[in-house]
Structure 1
Amino acid sequence: MTKLIFNRRRFLGTAAMTGAALASPAYLRRANAAGGEVNIWTYNDFVPEAFKEQFEADTGIKVNIRLVDDQGKQFNLLAAEAPNPSVDIMTVAGHRFLQFIESDLLAPLDTDRLSNWGKINPTFSESDWSTINDNKWGMPILSGMEVLSYNTELVSAEEAQSWDTLFSEQYKGQTAYVIQDMISIIMLKMGYDGNMVAYLDDPEKAAAIVEEAKQFLIEKKPLVRKYYDGGAELQQMFVNQDIAMAQSWNGPAAALITDGFPLAMTIPKEGSYGFVYTFNIANNAPNADNAYTFMDAILASPEIGAAMTKASGFISTYKDASNYLNDVDKKATSFSDEELANLQFFRAEANEMKYGLVDPAVEAIKAA
């Protein structure tokens, strides 16, 4: 095994400074100070710090950011606050829309109030998943996918072509994954619909499929080093050489690649799933006008989209954002046509049934 020597202080410092690349950008047209505040629940690095500072200076609106790391936790927190939430803008993944909509936690998005809506690539803004009950519910900002991330000094590109390598004896104790995310991939690997839309009229079959995936992961539990929860934990495991490969979202992996860490990512031949993150207006948002002002401003330039990509590692939904990425950044946020052909997108129609089955399976795997 090759011993990796990596400057951890350099990595952590570079990661922390990623958002500083947008020093004093001229993003916003000078507007009359609106004042007040806007409260946002979002993931780390989804709002570039330089943009935030510029927005506050140009509008007089104070931006309060509360970091979230899990869609389920965010849903529970918002549900607990309903019908009078403290948040204005949330970051919801498209495949979790229905859960929020059916609980009256989101307000339909009025795209007429977003003069920069047309700056989003229509692949994301006009896709079928984005319209529910004849309404838009979110403004696409970043997209991503589940990938197999691997240390290129320890794992070959050929080995990384299959999810089987993640569960091989050769790499016992050197792998990690998020259980809930991995279950969908295992179902797809077994030839099933990981979205479970195909089984809406056959809940018994859906339950049997989740049970099969659960038993597979229980059987393979002795091989995994860690069930992890967040991107920062994943990155640190790679940096520490605790793991050689992992199932991950492309964002945390891309951040390591951009920093020069010997990491690569691929969409294995058995396939994987992609998704889109959106900014959403909370139902009964206390500062809805300021929320629309913020959302329109963050759409103003593809340079902002590129900054979000460079900071988070996810793929920008903005038109022409790649024009502001260097070759390394493009490498960290692109895949071959062959890999993309293996990609499917998460759908929300069967979410209630799916997560009703998957969430207990996750707990069972942890307890096994």
Structure 2
Amino acid sequence: MSKPIYNRRRFLGTAAVTGAALTSPVYLRRAMAQSGGEVNIWTYSDFVPESFRKQFEADTGIKVNIRLVDDQGKQFNLLAAEQPNPSVDIMTVAGHRFLQFIDSDLLAPLDTGRLSNWDRINPVFSDGDWATIRGEKWGVPILSGMEVLAFNTEAVSAEEAMTWHTLFSEEYKGQTAYIVQDMMSIVMLMMGYDGNMVAYKNDPERAAAIVEEAKNFLIQKKPLVRKYYDSGAEFQQMMVNQDILLGHSWNGPAAALIQDGFPLGMTIPREGSYGFVYTYNIANNAPNADNAYTFLDAILSSPEIGAAMTQASGFISTYKDATQYLSDLEKKATSFPEDQLARMQFFRAEANDLKYSLVDPAVEAIKAA
């Protein structure tokens, strides 16, 4: 059996071609006034479908200037250096990084009343507890990633994969893998605790006791795991080599294997999981704020646009009904049933200092045990 090396770069290169094939849909056919001017966007590669950009420019007269970013920290530093007169109108910030930007007065609160298409977003993403801070919305959810239980469908049943406990079962001893730091949050969730630690922000003793319990669980289960891995490519290769049959993974590396035909499935187990959401955000003092709102409302106007963003990026669309524009293979790789999505919680940053002051040493203790 041939065992090629799978990687996310190969997957995204293939998916980008699919996304570029999007025909000019009807998402802007309700002709908007020719307002002219420009809108400046900092975002990741393939987050603005090229066909949408061209149609938007043709229908509105607004020129879309895109600057690619590859790191949230770099984007923060650049925007902070430009204040109070930023060159950007729309940025792409992950929801669990909101507080850093908000506390530095880099984002403007989002006026959802100016977005007639706001209701096209799945409420799982638009109404999540991470999305409202200090009574305000701060971003338009566009794409999501999450931690999943990935499994070889020829060896592990779908029912077995519906619980994280299978990952720690004697039956699959030596055939599992996970990122141990990420599993700390998952294990706390399995135990009925808040893996974000927000609930214990004012009770550090309680937080320490919970982390200690999760640490001891993972030490107890350490003889069952084949490997604590670090990268998505490493997870993929272990799956392809059949070194492991199931494991914790981010959905991106798992999706790449599915797209390449490997017999892989992935679930959000019954105990739940954690994820993050990429959002479009309006910069504080944006030079073209009106055009920014015109752009945001337009890009929300059709689930076909959301599907194109998924095809190009490999992340899950936040748009209602976007999956109807995906092939069966794309659906398998980038979508989940509604009942599974409802189990997902989102990473939050309010208690990160407390959380990682406890989790980081716990992880080192697990590895050393």
Cross-structure match for 2:227: 224
Measure, in 1, the Cα distance between the counterparts of 2:237 and 2:37: 40
Cα distance per residue 1:302-322 (max 9 Å; x no partner):
210122233344443323323
Q: Residues 16 and 46 of structure 2 are in contact (CA less than 8 Å); yes or no, is this contact kept in structure 1?
A: no
Measure, in 2, the Cα distance between the counterparts of 1:23 and 1:171: 48
1:78-97 matched pairs, under 5 angstroms:
78-79=79-80, 82-97=83-98
Cross-structure match for 1:331: 332
Matched to 2:337, the amino acid is F
Corresponding position: 1:19 with 2:16:
no
Cross-structure match for 2:126: 125
Measure, in 2, the Cα distance between the counterparts of 1:173 and 1:80: 48
Residue 264 of structure 1 deviates from its aligned partner by 0.5
1:171-250 matched pairs, under 5 angstroms:
172=174, 175-177=177-179, 179-214=180-215, 220=222, 223-224=226-227, 226-228=229-231, 238=239, 244-250=245-251
Measure, in 1, the Cα distance between the counterparts of 2:313 and 2:250: 11
Closer, same or farther: CA 263–290 of 1 in aligned 2, 3 Å = same
Cross-structure match for 2:307: 306
- The DSSP-based 3-state class of the residue aligned with 1:141 is strand
Q: Residues 76 and 101 of structure 2 are in contact (CA less than 8 Å); yes or no, is this contact kept in structure 1?
A: yes
Closer, same or farther: CA 347–13 of 1 in aligned 2, 3 Å = closer
Residue 101 of structure 1 deviates from its aligned partner by 1.9
Closer, same or farther: CA 241–23 of 1 in aligned 2, 3 Å = farther
Residue 234 of structure 1 deviates from its aligned partner by 5.4
Cα distance per residue 1:59-94 (max 9 Å; x no partner):
35133242335x566555655655555543233333
- The DSSP-based 3-state class of the residue aligned with 1:146 is strand
Q: Residues 257 and 263 of structure 1 are in contact (CA less than 8 Å); yes or no, is this contact kept in structure 2?
A: yes
Measure, in 2, the Cα distance between the counterparts of 1:81 and 1:234: 39
Residue 108 of structure 1 deviates from its aligned partner by 0.4
Q: Residues 12 and 312 of structure 2 are in contact (CA less than 8 Å); yes or no, is this contact kept in structure 1?
A: no
Residue 196 of structure 1 deviates from its aligned partner by 1.6
Measure, in 1, the Cα distance between the counterparts of 2:96 and 2:366: 24
User: How many residue pairs end up in the alignment?
Assistant: 359
Residue 352 of structure 1 deviates from its aligned partner by 4.1
Cα distance per residue 1:210-234 (max 9 Å; x no partner):
3554566578498425212xx6775
Q: Residues 189 and 195 of structure 2 are in contact (CA less than 8 Å); yes or no, is this contact kept in structure 1?
A: yes
- The DSSP-based 3-state class of the residue aligned with 2:305 is helix
Percent identity reads: 65
Cross-structure match for 1:357: 357
Measure, in 2, the Cα distance between the counterparts of 1:83 and 1:214: 45
RMSD: 3.9
1:32-111 matched pairs, under 5 angstroms:
32=34, 34-42=36-44, 44-58=45-59, 59-68=61-70, 71=72, 74-75=75-76, 78-79=79-80, 82-111=83-112
Residue 109 of structure 1 deviates from its aligned partner by 0.8
Q: Residues 252 and 312 of structure 1 are in contact (CA less than 8 Å); yes or no, is this contact kept in structure 2?
A: no
Cross-structure match for 1:142: 143
Corresponding position: 1:254 with 2:255:
yes
Q: Residues 88 and 286 of structure 2 are in contact (CA less than 8 Å); yes or no, is this contact kept in structure 1?
A: yes
Matched to 1:189, the amino acid is M
Residue 271 of structure 1 deviates from its aligned partner by 2.9
Residue 22 of structure 1 deviates from its aligned partner by 0.6
Cross-structure match for 2:289: 288
